[in-house]
Structure 1
Amino acid sequence: MVKKLRDNVSRVKAASPLGTTVFVSLRAADVLWQYAILQRGWASKLIEQLGGNSVGLDHVLDPSTSQLQPYYMLVILMSLGSSLKHIVTLLYISEQEMPAASAFVIAVFNTLFNSLNTILSLWSATSRVPTTGSWFDLLHSPAVAIGVGAYLIGILTELVSELQRRTFKKNPVNKGKPYGGGLFSLATNINYGGYTLWRAGYASATGGFPWGIMTFSFFFYDFASRGVPVLEQYLTERYGEAYKEIKTRVKYSLFPGIY
């Protein structure tokens, strides 16, 4: 018996005022939460209670202003970018319903993942914090430099590809047609690839390359074994030969030239 694939999102096109409110509120609150666990020392205390060593307070806060040092401002900015991307997607791009239960689960999942990144950025065994509090010194860490680069490329790839698809679908001429142009001409699910990349970059910049590789592997496996198959089954059933033609032309699913 073939195991039925699980789809984590609804494919029903409908408004969801309650779900939208829940999702936007929780994703916006994530940035405040990440700032609080850094600035108030909650994450550092958790590490110490678990028997680990946290980086020194002078690496987290500027002694003269009690504001976050550049590296930890970068951590907050990555959290902010992830929240803004998700909020823009729901409010401007997505046409599917967002039930309140799904909104809660998805938002909490992202906050937990971001919180783990924040905690690892403070744990002395994994933190990429530079020895001095300078923006320029962040570039001396390969994990931070490459991680931030992957984060920016990934999140922009995800956002731009979805905006291109939205523009195509909003044109009445294209009603009932699948989209295989723009960045989607490079990979049929390039937005999923972009998400995987920016998640891995975020993880590398906060917890180092081992954590970045683990994060990449987790999302890549989930998309390759579940997310892509279930979406392609839906698109094939919805668009038939038109989508099969795109699949014939576009050889890759997540990353151009790789998979």
Structure 2
Amino acid sequence: MSDRKKYFDLIQRGEKKPTPSGTLTFIGLRLADIPLQHALLSRSAAAPASSFGVRILSSLGLPTIFTHTSTSLPSSLLLPINSLLSASPPGSASPAPDWSLLGCMTPLTNLPLTSLLLLLMSVGSAAKQIYWKVALSEDSFPASAAVAVSIYNTVVNSANALLFLALGTTSLLSRPLVSFRSPASSSASPSSVPLSTVVGTLLYVVGMGIETISERQRAEFKSRAENKGKVCKEGLWRWARHVNYLGYTLWRGGYCMVGSGWMGGILMGLWQGWDLSQRAVAVQDEYCSGRYGEQWVQFKYEVPYRIIPGVY
């Protein structure tokens, strides 16, 4: 009996049978995550506790950034986007922009900057994953796998939102702060944002780019008839054998960093990197060894790094 450890994998690798039920389930559940994140993060200026996320935390007896003031939490970090974009300084008689003219943009401009970033990150993750399933992946993806992957992403995204809203874990208490001045605002005092929010946003953008571009390059390589049965060694795949996992780790860590600061982002990045390096890489290596044989052995020799180019 083999003592080789079998690792958990949701994707039916090598099985190219279409799974429309899984695809439709995945699209529907990933899209459903967006209004949920908006409900968790949004609030009424007249009733801060109306946020779904604030109500959840308050029911657990946890203080939140909207219901408990703190001398270490600058109130400017909670101002909605429309106040940052206002061309009129506080106390001016000039009217603020009429955001109602923008229709569906109004709910977005009523969010604080970090809340808006977290919501946009949930939109970006859903869009990227739907694009991957519809345009890039040919492997079978049954409805059960679609539900499991969707639940994981929704749970993690929701945790990021709640960590941001909870006073004890919010990224708004992260230091140092970076000051900036909105080009549309004539206010004398600049606005501020935690440096961890800036770094987390950059990690998210870079990670999304690496994951999406690498998976697109691999799909285009495999679509060419002359490459049938060959290992993709083009583009970013010359950096590391599982370079798309680097992208996923970066954007997941960056997403969490925007919500809960340095510690949350680092812990999430370490956890995601450990899971991918220990579980997902083992699954892929076993599959690729069986599919490509000596080609995969040669690829591992030519590209010695698993996930992080030049490091690991």
TM-score of the aligned structures, taking structure 1 as reference length: 0.93
> Residue 70 of structure 1 contacts residue 135 of structure 1 at CA under 8 Å; is this kept in 2?
no
CA offsets 1:178-219 (integer angstroms, 9 cap, x no match): 112210110000001110110000001111111112111211
After TM superposition, give the deviation of residue 139 of structure 1 in Å.
6.6
SS in structure 2 of the partner of residue 71 of structure 1: helix
Q: Which one of 54, 75, 81 corresponds to residue 44 of structure 1?
A: 54
> Residue 208 of structure 2 contacts residue 247 of structure 2 at CA under 8 Å; is this kept in 1?
yes
After TM superposition, give the deviation of residue 93 of structure 1 in Å.
0.2
> Residue 26 of structure 2 contacts residue 147 of structure 2 at CA under 8 Å; is this kept in 1?
yes
CA distance in 2, matches of 1:99, 1:250: 32
After TM superposition, give the deviation of residue 175 of structure 1 in Å.
0.8
Going by fraction, where is helix more abundant, 1 or 2? 1
CA offsets 1:85-109 (integer angstroms, 9 cap, x no match): 1000000000011101110111011
2:150 aligned residue: 107
Q: Which one of 16, 19, 29 corresponds to residue 16 of structure 1?
A: 19
Aligned residues: 259
Amino acid at match of 2:22: G
SS in structure 1 of the partner of residue 246 of structure 2: helix
Amino acid at match of 2:240: A
Q: Confirm or deny that 1:201 pairs with 2:233.
A: no
* CA RMSD in angstroms, aligned pairs only: 2.4
Show structure 1 runs of 5+ residues with no match.
none
CA distance in 1, matches of 2:20, 2:205: 30
After TM superposition, give the deviation of residue 138 of structure 1 in Å.
7.7
CA distance in 1, matches of 2:116, 2:181: 10
2:95 aligned residue: none
TM-score of the aligned structures, taking structure 2 as reference length: 0.77
Q: Of the two, which has the highest radius of gyration? A: 2
> Residue 81 of structure 2 contacts residue 113 of structure 2 at CA under 8 Å; is this kept in 1?
no
Q: Which one of 264, 271, 280 corresponds to residue 211 of structure 1?
A: 264
Q: Percent identity?
A: 34
Hey, which bits of structure 1, 4+ residues long, moved more than 4 A?
Answer: 60-66, 134-139
CA distance in 1, matches of 2:21, 2:236: 32
Q: After TM superposition, list the pairs within 5 Å mapping 1:65-214 onto structure 2.
A: 67-129=110-172, 140-214=193-267
Q: Confirm or deny that 1:243 pairs with 2:302.
A: no
1:6 aligned residue: 8
CA distance in 1, matches of 2:149, 2:228: 29
Q: Which one of 28, 33, 42 corresponds to residue 30 of structure 1?
A: 33
Show structure 2 runs of 5+ residues with no match.
43-49, 68-74, 84-105, 183-189
